[in-house]
């Protein structure tokens, strides 16, 4: 169909006008996937208009969703009037919500058996299935920020005390491989609508026939968090989770990370990562659902896992989860955490006989990669300007080291970490942080100490970078202070002369 107007700056209609890379950058889809989506739409009731085609309509909508550009900029890029752009976005949103989303998102679009057989990671079944092969679902709320409303009642309901800004919360249900089963909501974000209350509302009202889809043996993995148990822990006089709870928590986080990654994928659509205008609040559900349906249809799942590797890892984690932290017990019984215990301060680079490790060795200890990625950052925090890393050795205990690691969240908080080792490996560890007593993997503070002693101190480039960076920062601060003092002195002299 020939369209009126001059040639567009962005042209989705002319073959080869845009490369596959161009279409991917604009829409978040490859050229093949974009063509497939347009063919699905063209089979429906969305038709070409006098000013734009169906392909342009879908292209405009996806470009806005992917980039977050304003309608004014889109009208310039597509050489269309602002009203035409607005109508194109509204038409595409309405059509995709009614005809594309239901077949790619929602509890009704996929069976429980398909989730179990095709979208469940073997590691999750090994850790939690207990040979029964239940449906394992990971649920969490995500945030969509909105403008502050002039309607005070609505404003109060949408104001989050946690984020200190107005927002709404869709509840996301995903499989352990990262496939999005459904997104329900959004819900208000006031104190009455925490994740537990939202889940209760979904079950009581049987939204999307949730109670019929889920059976009694199915497993729902959710974020418990420390805040829910904070009062109880304080009453019990405990500031740290018991070893058993820490181990179980690690089993959960090994699976639960996938929902956080899915939330990150949702926010990769920049329109959903920005503050939505009040006029678009009624359509938040449409935008989120369309983005999730597209990801289900065209994007690869986050992690399907390898059967043999997952079974081996699960066996290891389940075995460790039943073990006690012998070093923790030893520290408490012998009072090694007391100041009266004699420790000798040394430079970690001269720590005797600590084994040299590889990253694979540390991954086997941490049972994951997240803590390992944070280790260099903790090390930079711990090194002084001369590149020294202080640790303590115990007089009456061979091959036992202790260090104080700065918390990355609280400036006044430092955690004491103990590591016991032999000639070839690390034997056991303990940290005073919330999850530091676990033996299923290690916390970030323990990992930071092991990483430096086993790898970091041998990495000359890393140490030079830290020292040079610290010296440059110190020099810049000193120059800024001197410049400020000079300006103040000059101003005082000028005032006196006047």
Biggest alpha carbon distance in the chain? Answer: 89
pLDDT (tens digit per residue) in 446-492: 999 999 888 888 875 555 454 444 444 444 445 555 666 666 666 66
Q: Rounded to two decimals, what is the model's pTM?
A: 0.81
CA end-to-end span of the chain: 78
Q: Which domains does the chain have, with CATH numbers?
A: 20-103 (1.10.10), 112-313 (no CATH), 324-458 (no CATH)
Q: Residue 58 and residue 44: Cα distance in Å, rounded?
A: 13
Q: Residue 260 and residue 266: Cα distance in Å, rounded?
A: 10
Q: Is 324 helix (H, G, I), strand (E, B) or coil?
A: coil
Q: Residue 116 and residue 246: Cα distance in Å, rounded?
A: 28
Q: Is 296 helix (H, G, I), strand (E, B) or coil?
A: helix
Q: Residue 283 and residue 279: Cα distance in Å, rounded?
A: 9
pLDDT (tens digit per residue) in 306-362: 778 888 888 989 898 888 999 898 888 888 777 666 777 777 666 667 888 998 999
> Mind giving me the DSSP string for 362-374?
HHHHHTSSHHHHH
- Give the Cβ contact number of residue 326 at 10 Å: 13
Q: Residue 128 and residue 131: Cα distance in Å, rounded?
A: 9
Say what the pLDDT of residue 491 is: 67
Helices 444-454 & 370-382 angle (0-180, nearest 10): 70
Helices 359-366 & 370-382 angle (0-180, nearest 10): 110
Say what the pLDDT of residue 485 is: 63
Say what the pLDDT of residue 461 is: 53
Say what the pLDDT of residue 483 is: 64
Indicate the pairing of strand 400-406 with strand 343-347: unpaired
Beta bridge partners of 252: none
Q: Residue 227 and residue 233: Cα distance in Å, rounded?
A: 10
Say what the pLDDT of residue 203 is: 87
Q: What tokens were used for 385?
A: 């300007």
Which residues of the chain are under the pLDDT cut of 70?
1-8, 48, 50-51, 224-240, 339-341, 348-352, 385-386, 460-498
Beta bridge partners of 180: 174
- Residue linked to tokens 């100041």: 339
Say what the pLDDT of residue 469 is: 47
């Amino acid at each position: 169909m020939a369209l009126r107007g001059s040639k567009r700056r962005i042209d989705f209609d002319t073959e080869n006008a845009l490369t596959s890379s161009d279409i991917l950058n604009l829409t978040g889809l490859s050229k093949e996937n974009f063509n497939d989506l347009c063919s699905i739409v063209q089979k429906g009731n969305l038709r070409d208009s006098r000013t734009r085609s169906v392909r342009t309509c879908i292209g405009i909508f996806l470009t806005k969703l992917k980039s977050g550009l304003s309608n004014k900029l889109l009208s310039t890029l597509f050489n269309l009037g602002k009203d035409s752009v607005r109508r194109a976005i509204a038409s595409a949103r309405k059509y995709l919500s009614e005809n594309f989303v239901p077949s790619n998102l929602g509890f009704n679009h996929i069976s429980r058996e398909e989730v179990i057989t095709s979208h469940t990671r073997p590691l999750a079944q090994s850790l939690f299935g207990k040979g029964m092969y239940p449906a394992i679902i990971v649920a969490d709320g995500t945030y969509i920020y909105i403008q502050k409303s002039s309607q005070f009642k609505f404003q109060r309901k949408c104001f989050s005390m946690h984020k200190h800004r107005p927002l709404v919360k869709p509840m996301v249900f995903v499989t352990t491989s990262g496939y999005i089963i459904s997104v329900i909501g959004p819900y208000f974000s006031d104190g009455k609508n925490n994740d537990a209350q939202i889940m209760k509302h979904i079950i009581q009202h049987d939204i999307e026939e949730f109670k019929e889809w889920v059976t009694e043996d199915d497993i729902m993995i959710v974020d418990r968090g420390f805040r829910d148990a904070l009062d109880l822990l304080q009453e019990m006089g405990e500031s740290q989770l018991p070893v058993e709870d820490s181990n179980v928590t690690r089993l959960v986080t090994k699976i639960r990370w996938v929902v956080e990654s899915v939330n990150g994928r949702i926010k990769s659509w920049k329109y959903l990562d920005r503050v939505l205008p009040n006029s678009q609040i009624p359509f938040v559900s449409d935008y989120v659902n369309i983005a999730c349906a597209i990801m289900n249809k065209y994007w690869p799942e986050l992690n399907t896992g390898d059967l043999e590797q997952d079974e081996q890892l699960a066996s290891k984690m389940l075995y460790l989860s039943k073990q006690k932290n012998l070093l923790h017990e030893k520290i408490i019984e012998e009072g090694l955490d007391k100041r009266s215990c004699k420790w000798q301060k040394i430079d970690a680079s001269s720590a005797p006989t600590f084994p040299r490790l590889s990253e694979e060795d540390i991954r086997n200890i941490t049972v994951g990669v997240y803590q390992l990625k944070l280790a260099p950052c903790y090390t930079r925090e711990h090194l002084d300007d001369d590149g020294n890393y202080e640790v303590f050795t115990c007089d009456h205990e061979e091959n036992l080291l202790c260090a104080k690691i700065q918390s990355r969240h609280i400036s006044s908080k430092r955690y004491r970490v103990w590591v016991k080792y032999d000639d070839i490996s690390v034997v056991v560890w303990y940290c005073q942080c919330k999850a530091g007593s676990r033996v299923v993997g290690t916390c970030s503070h323990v990992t930071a100490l092991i990483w430096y002693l086993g790898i970091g101190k041998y990495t000359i480039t890393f140490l030079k970078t830290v020292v040079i960076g610290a010296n440059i920062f110190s020099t810049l601060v000193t120059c800024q202070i001197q410049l400020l003092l000079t300006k103040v002195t000059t101003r005082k002299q000028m005032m006196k002369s006047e």
